Amino acid sequence: MNAVIEVRGLSRLFGSVTAVEDVDLTVGAGQIYGFLGRNGAGKTTLIRCLLGLIPPSTGHATLFGTTVRAGRTPCRLWADVGYLVEGPGLTPWLTVTEHLETAAGYRDLPRSAVQDVIARLDLGRYRDVRAGVLSLGNRQRLGLALALIHEPELLILDEPVTSLDPAGVVEIRGLLRDLADRGVTVFMSSHNIGEVARLADRVGIIHAGRMVTELSADRLASNGERLVSTFRTAGQAEQAARALRAHGLDAVPEQVRVSTSSPEAIQRSDDVAAWLVEAGAAPMSLGLEHEDLEDLFLRLTEGMPA
Amino acid sequence: MTATRSGFAGSLRAETLAARRSVVPRFTLIAVTLAGAVAGLFMFVAADPARARSLGLLNQKAQLAGMTADWPGLLAFLAQLAAVGDLLLFAFVTTWVFGREAAHGTLRYLLALPVPRTTIALAKLVVIAVWALVANLWLTVIVLGCGWLLDLPGADPAVIGRGLATAGLAAGLMWLVSTPVAFVACAARGYLAPLASALAALVLAQVATALGWAGVTPWAIPAVAAGLAPSVTLNALGLAIAALTGAAGILGTLAWWRSGLAGA
């Protein structure tokens, strides 16, 4: 799987405030990566670093293998990237069509691209309406249209379904899934757990600027069911996680516990126990637990300063 | 789908569309028309103060000092408008063109496009320059029209040519020395600071003129060119200072767009 986004050791400070701290993540081609966090967790700051709007304090981000440098990224890179960040920034007196014509002009696109994206985002009725009088939901649609007009290979979306009505949410979800099925990579931040759970192939949870966990497609597909083993020490848990990974399982150590959501592990818990004993990390307990994304998010972020 | 060209034409089209559809050009056109009409009104009053008094245009005790109702007087008025009024006009337009991107949150969409950021900023500067040119041409048309309607004496083509050249020089110099407003609009991310900086420049120009420093103060140099500081003449140093101020404004603005500060 080719990495479309790679972030390594990225931190961003604003004065003495650490907005993002030592984040690593990788997003493969055609994946939908959900980036979950509370308000102020650092989601938008990371997205701004990904887009080269601000430089990271340390670490780096690459898109399609090209390192992003604020103001010095080769601008050809942005031909393959569409984005919506911090809400749609629109010029109040320009109509929907004029906004899209402007975007098409910057990107050297044919006029048909404007009509196509208007149809795709169901903005036909509003094509001659000025942005200043559009509803919040339709402003968001126009923002998405601006991100999609050039059919990018990578979409970076900050809270893409904010302000949309329930039907609009379902529609945009379908659109993003369709794009991912056609190979488009989607990186979307949200604080809407349900939305991310429905859509994402992989989820990263950020809290107080730090990536607290990443959840695999298996973990999401298991709908919260996981095999959890408990050990006497955190060292034993680490050792057990390494042993399970050696068997191809997605083991995640959390202090003295190790959890895995791999369907294979859930079905073959006796084998898992045997593998752990063989590895010299006999568990004190081993059993199935159910924890959906919402429970997990709250457990990981509650009681911690945002 | 990839875009590989420099994008200047697309940027210029986008900027032109945004400007054309806004009310601001119409507003500036009205302001310029009024300024030209005021020049005509002054000439009308100066030509026959008694008639102006009888029409209620001039207070019974008021006097119009140092104003002659002829073509040289009218064109001197045009040069004065360019040397003083253009600073406010250009600052207003520049503030709008650059400041609105931050105020409307549209700046972030311009910073990750397949077009160099400096190309977009350059397109904005070109729009401002064209706008300034059109506004001054329109002002000239209005003023010349007023002179023709009033049938002012002294319509010597050489005099008119010299007067227009002086006004043109003053307007051109003012365009140059007003470019730092673009940098202020970018760095301050809004409308107030650049407008305040233009007002400060205007005050500084007045003070410098009073102190005899008009020839070396960037924002007073257009007034020197317009003959508003009779004891000072425009020289190579003054022109160089205006050119350097213009270069600093343009290069500073482009550098800001290219820097990591633009998206902060």
Residue contact B14–A146, C-beta within 8 A: no
Residue A306 lies in a domain: no
Residue A303 lies in a domain: no
Q: B42 Cβ partners below 8 Å, 6+ apart?
A: B64, B67, B77
Same domain, residue pair A192 and A237: no
Residue contact A146–B115, C-beta within 8 A: no
Residue A47 lies in a domain: yes
List residues of chain A with CB under 8 Å from any CB of chain B: 48, 51-55, 70-73, 75-81, 83, 85-87, 89-94, 98, 101-103, 105-109, 146, 150-151
Number of domains chain A is built from: 2
Residue A297 lies in a domain: no
* Gap between the Cα atoms of B200 and B157, Å rounded: 38
Same domain, residue pair A132 and A278: no
Containing B136, the helix (H) or strand (E) segment is helix B117-150
* Gap between the Cα atoms of A288 and A286, Å rounded: 7
Contacts of B97 in chain A (CB under 8 A): none
Query: Interior CA angle at B68 toward B67 and B69, to 5°?
Result: 120
Containing A221, the helix (H) or strand (E) segment is helix A217-221
Residue contact B259–A71, C-beta within 8 A: yes
Same domain, residue pair A88 and A164: yes
Q: Are B223 and B214 in contact (CB under 8 A)?
A: yes
Same domain, residue pair A147 and A241: no
Nearest to A106 among B10, B100, B258 (CB): B10
* Full residue range of the structural domain in which residue A139 is found: 3-215
Residue contact B108–A151, C-beta within 8 A: no
Same domain, residue pair A36 and A168: yes
Residue A299 lies in a domain: no
Residue A302 lies in a domain: no
Same domain, residue pair A7 and A150: yes
Residue A94 lies in a domain: yes
What Å distances lie between residue B29 and A91, B35, B135, B137, B172, CA to CA?
A: 21, 10, 7, 11, 18
Same domain, residue pair A160 and A229: no
ipTM of the complex: 0.82
Containing A47, the helix (H) or strand (E) segment is helix A43-50
Q: Are B250 and B178 in contact (CB under 8 A)?
A: no
Q: Are A260 and A278 in contact (CB under 8 A)?
A: no
Residue contact B3–A107, C-beta within 8 A: yes
> Among all residues of chain B, which has the CA nearest to that of A113?
B1
Nearest to A78 among B10, B13, B112 (CB): B112
pLDDT in tens, chain A (306 residues): 689 999 999 999 999 999 999 999 999 999 999 999 888 889 999 999 999 999 999 999 999 999 999 888 888 999 999 999 888 889 999 999 999 999 998 988 999 999 999 999 999 999 999 999 999 889 999 999 999 999 999 999 998 888 788 888 888 888 889 899 989 999 999 877 878 888 889 999 999 899 988 887 667 766 677 889 999 999 999 999 999 999 988 888 888 999 888 888 888 888 999 999 999 999 999 888 877 777 777 777 775 554
Q: A230 Cβ partners below 8 Å, 6+ apart?
A: A256, A257, A283, A284, A285, A286
Question: Which ranges of B21-116 would DSSP assign to H, the alpha helix?
Answer: 24-47, 49-54, 71-80, 86-103, 107-110
Residue A305 lies in a domain: no
Count of A-B CB contacts under 8 Å: 116
Q: What is the pLDDT of residue A268?
A: 87
Residue type, A82: G
Q: Is the dihedral of CA A172, A176, A181, A183 positive or negative?
A: positive
Nearest to B10 among A73, A87, A105 (CB): A105
Cα dihedral B97, B102, B103, B109, rounded to 10, equals: 90
Q: What is the pLDDT of residue B62?
A: 56
Residue contact B17–A102, C-beta within 8 A: yes
Nearest-Cα distance to chain A for B171, in Å, is: 30
Q: A39 Cβ partners below 8 Å, 6+ apart?
A: A191, A306
pLDDT in tens, chain B (264 residues): 444 455 889 899 889 988 988 889 889 999 999 999 998 888 888 888 777 777 776 666 655 656 788 999 999 999 999 998 999 999 999 999 999 998 888 998 999 999 999 999 999 999 999 999 999 999 999 999 999 999 999 889 999 999 999 999 999 999 999 999 999 999 999 899 999 999 999 999 999 998 989 999 999 999 999 988 878 889 999 999 999 999 999 999 999 998 877 777
Strand-pair partners of A3: A28
Same domain, residue pair A142 and A10: yes
Give the CATH number for residue A250.
Answer: 3.30.70.100
Tokens standing for residue B242: 């205006």
Q: pLDDT tens digits for B240-250?
A: 999 999 999 99
Length of chain B: 264
* Side-chain-side CA neighbours of residue B25 (13 Å): 17
Q: What is the pLDDT of residue B1?
A: 43
Same domain, residue pair A25 and A97: yes
Q: A3-14 and A154-158 as β-strands: parallel, antiparallel, unpaired? A: unpaired
Same domain, residue pair A54 and A137: yes
Contacts of A150 in chain B (CB under 8 A): 1, 3
Same domain, residue pair A96 and A179: yes
Same domain, residue pair A209 and A85: yes
